[in-house]
Structure 1
């Protein structure tokens, strides 16, 4: 089984709020989702940087779950389907 390594990122936005983005997948440059993840991460962090936030911690994994197709998300995070809750 292959495990996915995740990192986190902390920064202050333009309003001086400390923002933490968690669950960022670490991918090799030749991985098929490298470009998609980098582009979405850049867009996500720029939105957090430019607007005031109610929360200080954000999950990039949850953001990707909403923005990517489910099959790509499952493939990226190696989620297996179990039958009959087994």
Structure 2
């Protein structure tokens, strides 16, 4: 899975990073859920300046999603014979 990172400044002007954001195809069933959660997290961080400068989106989703959906989102496909 490919991950991206988002960097921005919050209300107080402090640089903040959100890491481990999965890159999903728009046809993926979890696409809307991931983007809605990302917007919610970014808005929360922007409006509530905290001493923390780096956030893991992976850990955030682990706390906020149903476990079965989380496993399905982050599962890796096993290939036989190194294909």
User: Could you state the TM-score of these two structures normalised by the residue count of structure 1?
Assistant: 0.86
Q: CA deviation at 1:18?
A: 0.5
Q: Distance in 2 between matches of 1:34 and 1:67?
A: 15
Q: In structure 1, what is the equivalent of residue 34 of structure 2?
A: 37
Does 2:12 match 1:12? Answer: no
Runs of 4+ in 1 over 6 A off after TM superposition: none
Does 2:73 match 1:57? Answer: no
Q: In structure 1, what is the equivalent of residue 66 of structure 2?
A: 69
Q: CA deviation at 1:79?
A: 6.1
Matched residue of 2:55: which SS?
A: strand
Q: CA deviation at 1:70?
A: 0.6
Cα RMSD, aligned residues only: 1.3
5+ unaligned residues in a row in structure 1: which ranges? 81-86
Does 2:24 match 1:27? Answer: yes
Q: CA deviation at 1:65?
A: 0.1
Alignment: residue pair count:
77
Structure 1 28/79 Cα, relative in aligned 2: closer, same or farther at 3 Å?
Answer: closer
